Amino acid sequence: MRGKARAYTNIALIKYWGKKDDDLILPMNSSLSLTLDAFYTETEVIFDEGLKQDCFYLNEVLQSEKETLKLGAFINHFRKQANCSTHAVVKSQNYVPTAAGLASSASGFAALAGALNQALGLNLDKKELSKIARLGSGSATRSIYGGFVEWKAGNCHDTSYAHPMDDASWDVGMIVVIVNQKQKNISSREGMKRTVATSPFYRGWLDTVEEDLKQAKVAIQRKDFEQLGKITESNALKMHATMLGANPPFCYFEADSIKVMQVVEELRCEGVPCYFTMDAGPNVKILCRNSQAPIIMNRLKQMFKPEQIILSGVGPDLEYH
């Protein structure tokens, strides 16, 4: 009745933005990500007959009733499959800032899915885990796998899951620039909901995102770094543009986010291929050649503290501990 797992965060190169089913977390569009080895979550679950309710500790802090109920609803998917009604204590450690646009929900729910699978002896395979992780948070669907991962949107619970595309063992990496670690005001969940409901630009997103994905997949197959970078950057900017059209409008950029984007553009002009992407928060991620990361990091160090600049390699699949 005990399980422990580690899952790594992933950063989308082609973004998931918008749901067609809020309860099942079925996305409007398919997406593609890179799993990172520098940021992860470790979660331990213990089912205990003596417990009267579930308990959730995140980074050693007992979580609110609201967070615990959200977690309990997720655990219920596993309890149902195991025909079990016992409560659990969940202890999770995020080695990634929480709710700052660095995908803690992705590694968080993927690690929890793994730990629950082990604790209840369900022996679910990765495809099944990917589907259930999705019910916690959409981006968690992809964190079951390492490397480049595609999440096919599907149209029901059984057809919406991720699969590994490429182990990304070529010269790629990601530099994460922590502009601001604080929890964001508008969660990705709320942000995408508002965008779908109110932004006239959302139509433009839907009309082009599948083509972006197709191009990104071709670039990965050809190991064409520059083509992959270009499509990554333009897809991220397109997603952020949909938010400016929402009502009320919102924006995750901060002044320092724009500064990082400018550095990336300057470096490219100087012949260093690198491309930025951003999620639901001000932190910027730079897709780069691992071999060129020192040049990029040295330039960023002229503006940011060393601890704000983190180089990540490619992360592996979900691991059991």
Residues that bind ligand DP6 (CB under 6 A): 12, 15-17, 25, 31, 105, 137-139, 188-189, 279-280
Check residue 190 for interaction with ligand ADP (CB under 6 A). Answer: no
Q: Is 264 exposed, middle or buried, given 0-12, 13-18 or 19+ CB atoms closer than 10 A?
A: buried
Check residue 188 for interaction with ligand ADP (CB under 6 A). Answer: yes
3-state secondary structure of 28: coil
Give 58 or 220: the residue with its C-beta nearer to ligand ADP: 58
* Residue pair 14/212 in contact by the 8 Å Cβ criterion: yes
- x/- map, 268-287, ligand ADP, by CB under 6 A: ------------xx------
Dihedral of CA atoms 69, 1, 320, 217 in degrees, nearest 10, equals -50
Check residue 58 for interaction with ligand ADP (CB under 6 A). Answer: yes
Task: State the Cα–Cα distance between residues 67 and 184, nearest whole angstrom.
Answer: 16
Check residue 99 for interaction with ligand ADP (CB under 6 A). Answer: yes
Tell me how far, at minimum, the Cβ of 304 lies from ligand ADP, in Å: 20
Q: Which does 92 bind (CB under 5 to 8 A by kind): ligand ADP, ligand DP6, none?
A: ligand ADP
Q: Which does 6 bind (CB under 5 to 8 A by kind): ligand DP6, ligand ADP, none?
A: none
Tell me how far, at minimum, the Cβ of 269 lies from ligand ADP, in Å: 31
Q: Which residue among 18, 101, 146, 282 contacts ligand ADP (CB under 6 A)?
A: 101
Closest to 150 (Cα-Cα) out of 133, 158, 139:
139
Give 160 or 188: the residue with its C-beta nearer to ligand ADP: 188
Give 106 or 246: the residue with its C-beta nearer to ligand ADP: 106
Q: Which does 94 bind (CB under 5 to 8 A by kind): ligand ADP, ligand DP6, none?
A: ligand ADP
Task: State the Cα–Cα distance between residues 20 and 23, nearest whole angstrom.
Answer: 9
Cα separations in angstroms, 128 against 16, 114, 143, 158, 320 = 20, 11, 13, 9, 16
Strands of 274-278's sheet, edge to edge? 274-278, 284-288, 173-177, 309-312
Check residue 104 for interaction with ligand ADP (CB under 6 A). Answer: yes
Which residues contact residue 298 at a Cβ distance below 8 angstroms, ignoring those fewer than 6 apart?
A: none
Contact footprint for ligand ADP (CB under 6 A) = 41, 58, 67, 70, 92, 94, 98-106, 108-109, 112, 187-188, 280-281
